[in-house]
Amino acid sequence: MGNKLTNDDFKLALNEIGERAVIASRKLAIMSSQEKDDCLEAMAEAILREKDYILRENQRDLENGVANGMSQAMLDRLRLNEARVAAMAEGLRQVARLEDPVGITLSNTVRPNGLEIKKVSVPIGVIAIIYEARPNVTVDAAALCLKSGNAVILRGGSESIHSNLALAHCLTRACIDAGIEEAVVQVLPWTDRRAVQVMLKMDAYIDLVIPRGGESLIRAVMEESTIPVIKHYKGVCNIFVDKSCDQEMAVKLIENAKCQRPGVCNAAETLLIHKDIAAVFAPKIAAALLARQVELRGDDAFRSFAPQAIPATEDDWGEEYLALVLAVRVVDDLDAAIAHINRYGSKHSDLIISDLPESVAKFMAQVDSSTVYVNASTRFTDGYEFGMGAEIGISTDKLHARGPMGPKELTIYKYQVYGNGQIRT
Amino acid sequence: MGNKLTNDDFKLALNEIGERAVIASRKLAIMSSQEKDDCLEAMAEAILREKDYILRENQRDLENGVANGMSQAMLDRLRLNEARVAAMAEGLRQVARLEDPVGITLSNTVRPNGLEIKKVSVPIGVIAIIYEARPNVTVDAAALCLKSGNAVILRGGSESIHSNLALAHCLTRACIDAGIEEAVVQVLPWTDRRAVQVMLKMDAYIDLVIPRGGESLIRAVMEESTIPVIKHYKGVCNIFVDKSCDQEMAVKLIENAKCQRPGVCNAAETLLIHKDIAAVFAPKIAAALLARQVELRGDDAFRSFAPQAIPATEDDWGEEYLALVLAVRVVDDLDAAIAHINRYGSKHSDLIISDLPESVAKFMAQVDSSTVYVNASTRFTDGYEFGMGAEIGISTDKLHARGPMGPKELTIYKYQVYGNGQIRT
């Protein structure tokens, strides 16, 4: 939709959306926790009330998907049903129950001249979310932004446009009913790519862009955006099995990290085995993973112990398979493992399996990733599992926020300085 | 310098600098506080020891400056002398005495499944600083980056290249003497603009760019960089005088904020006066400021009370004069003042002078700036004045850090997750 509009039409329309978002964000920033939570509750009710309408619009997307030859996996991600609509409403209520991250005094100091300097958490302002496929992101992102006092502009994929607009209709309707500026949540009605291109230059209105989806989507956003972006490109998660560890536990952790849900960013993609235990451990893990239909791609050393593995190439070390495939390498020592991870990994989630405290300490300090694990599956990198309640995404960046991002990560701070006539001399 | 190099030469040379910085940053990240502080002390000693050499090289820059018709103000900023060299050494020692911002446990939670999730402060990695004129930035930036465990690549202006390289020589020499990777501090030896252009695309090596200087420099960095940037474009600081306040104090605060050092970013540029007190206060403040040679540019309402003011145009409201000029406007009420500031200000430092608690509360909450003041001069927005010890710059951005940025603002965090076999089910 939108393909009959000119570039200037898009600019005009999007600037208006941006202005409305800024105005809404200023009102949101000073809204009480109760008002925000009441609005989230009203949104949950609106979604339940309008479920037939939502499912009908979702059906249109599904029919278009079938007509366009969409894969079964994609159709499944796109599909809503009563249970999924109920889960979205429950998600809104869960976010309502979280602590308000805004207005928290982070520090408070009194200077020798009597100035009181308070550092207080505030919303970021206007956030744009660009995402694909799953309509539940529309609701999750709106909920987290509202909770953290940010206005949000949502741009979902063309494949879910009818579902997203129907959900947006319920959300804004709830805002109106709750007496809240409806522009706190806006869904772009256009699927034309030019709309995104225009939006990504709107740094005068939008403070932050969070893209969620495949690496190509995220790279395109990065190239075009003049607005700061928080993101992860991919999750190339590594597991290092140290020379001394509980090997039975290692097998369980590797199986879980690789097989429990191979299509997600915190699934393991590469296994590094310390050479001192390779002769014993390599055949063991190979047997366990082959029994679970995992394709193994190994270096020569690994293949000498596990000949069922096919040869790995240099490209395998940086590959996010998102499937039942695992690259395996035998490394000389801990330093080699750390060097491998820092070179080929994606700074997402990396694991050491070890019972040597000095190895653990070194790995935890030197692996430069958002989340480093010892003796636990990488699959826990997730807002719910970390106890944040919900997440708007996972960051592998080095600024603002790393790892799972919850409501708190959608805030920044301001300094409030209280004086009684202090001047600088 | 560097103008005989091809673009490919720059790429090769800069990639090598980038790689060395990454390697150095990994070593820095795990260095003890004592090692870092010893290195800062060694740097201070090296600068004092080599002061004749530094002053000689500075003299070359000054002579070039004179030959190129540099203004007296610029020459003064560029000039080093014994006292300024001693101040740089003392600055290094002050940074050494600050608390180490790295390795601090920001939170620690144990999940129901027994996973222990620690959030620990870590350095950002590699930081590039792009700056103009003042050679002391070379030393300050190096000190703050070292303290916070970050490798730094410095690119000063061509006007101070000899001073900067001499200082860099002392700093890296101190690193070598202290047994520390010398690439923790690297100064680009080229003044050719293409070197910066190449550097700003090196997102594979550099995690953050901090530009310091005029708005045109910062806009150029923003346009070319594929690396995240923290910055402020300018400081259009506003003062609002409420309908009820200590008018004598108001005059003192306005004089200080405008006149104490007009060329800096936290000096006031616009004054907003509540219409209820304009008839009394406008003539008073006009007289005080005119006596201090401040040029006043007022709207019609202000000029009706202070006819000495020249007419302000729309452009004046967003102007950073950096001089003894003040734009003055009479506003209907607090809401109009807040709306003016959020529209025309630069999100830097804004002040309300008032004795009405409800006005103060509203202003502090709704003005969307990094630092909001009540009854104190805007001139305090500064790392030292805020008690941070030093600052690497001031941010008006909405991500990562706002206001004065000290060593702590040059860190991020990682999650360290400790388990004993937890898998996700």
Q: What is the pLDDT of residues A90-139, one digit of tens each?
A: 999 999 999 999 999 999 999 999 999 999 999 999 999 999 868 989 99
Q: Mean pLDDT score of chain B, rounded to an integer?
A: 95
Sheet strands side by side (includes A325-331) = A310-311, A295-298, A325-331, A268-274, A237-241, A349-353, A371-376, B411-422, B116-123, B105-110
Q: Are A373 and B30 inside 8 Å of each other by CB? A: no
- Percent of chain B surpassing pLDDT 90: 87
Q: A247: which chain B residues are within 8 Å (Cβ-Cβ)?
A: none
User: What's the confidence (pLDDT) of residue A302?
Assistant: 98
Radius of gyration of chain B (CA): 24
pLDDT over 70 at A67, yes or no: yes
User: What's the confidence (pLDDT) of residue B74?
Assistant: 86
Domain B237-380 has CATH 1.10.10.60: no
Q: Give residue B120's identity as a one-letter amino acid code.
A: V
User: What's the confidence (pLDDT) of residue A7?
Assistant: 87
CA distance B110 to chain A (A): 9
User: What's the confidence (pLDDT) of residue A2?
Assistant: 64
User: What's the confidence (pLDDT) of residue B389?
Assistant: 77
Question: Rounded mean pLDDT of A185-195?
Answer: 91
Q: What is the pLDDT of residues B208-251, one digit of tens each?
A: 999 998 889 999 998 889 899 999 999 999 999 999 999 999 99
Q: Domain map of chain A by residue range?
A: 7-231, 237-380
Q: Give residue B250's identity as a one-letter amino acid code.
A: A
User: What's the confidence (pLDDT) of residue B1?
Assistant: 60
pLDDT over 70 at A1, yes or no: no
CA distance B413 to chain A (A): 7
pLDDT bracket for residue B384 (50, 70, 90): confident
Give how far the C-alpha of residue A330 lies from the chain's centroid of Cα atoms, to the nearest Å. Answer: 31
Instruction: Please give the residue that has the higher pLDDT: either B77 or B153.
Output: B153
pTM value?
Answer: 0.93
Q: What is the pLDDT of residues B358-369, one digit of tens each?
A: 999 999 999 999
User: What's the confidence (pLDDT) of residue A56?
Assistant: 98
User: What's the confidence (pLDDT) of residue B2?
Assistant: 65
User: What's the confidence (pLDDT) of residue A223?
Assistant: 86
Q: What is the pLDDT of residues B237-287, one digit of tens each?
A: 999 999 999 999 999 999 999 999 999 999 999 999 999 999 999 999 999
If you ran DSSP here, which 8-state letter would residue A100 be given?
A: P
pLDDT over 70 at B55, yes or no: yes
B136 touches chain A (CB under 8 A): no
CA distance A402 to chain B (A): 7
Sheet strands side by side (includes B310-311) = A105-110, A116-123, A411-422, B371-376, B349-353, B237-241, B268-274, B325-331, B295-298, B310-311
Question: Which structure tokens are listed for A35?
Answer: 């008002």
Q: Chain A interface, mutation test: which of B350, B422, B425, most A Cβ atoms within 10 Å? A: B422
A343 touches chain B (CB under 8 A): no
Domain B7-231+404-417 has CATH 3.40.605.10: yes
CATH level 2 (architecture), domain A7-231: 3-Layer(aba) Sandwich (3.40)
ipTM value for the complex: 0.94
Torsion of CA A309, A310, A314, A320, to 10 degrees: -70
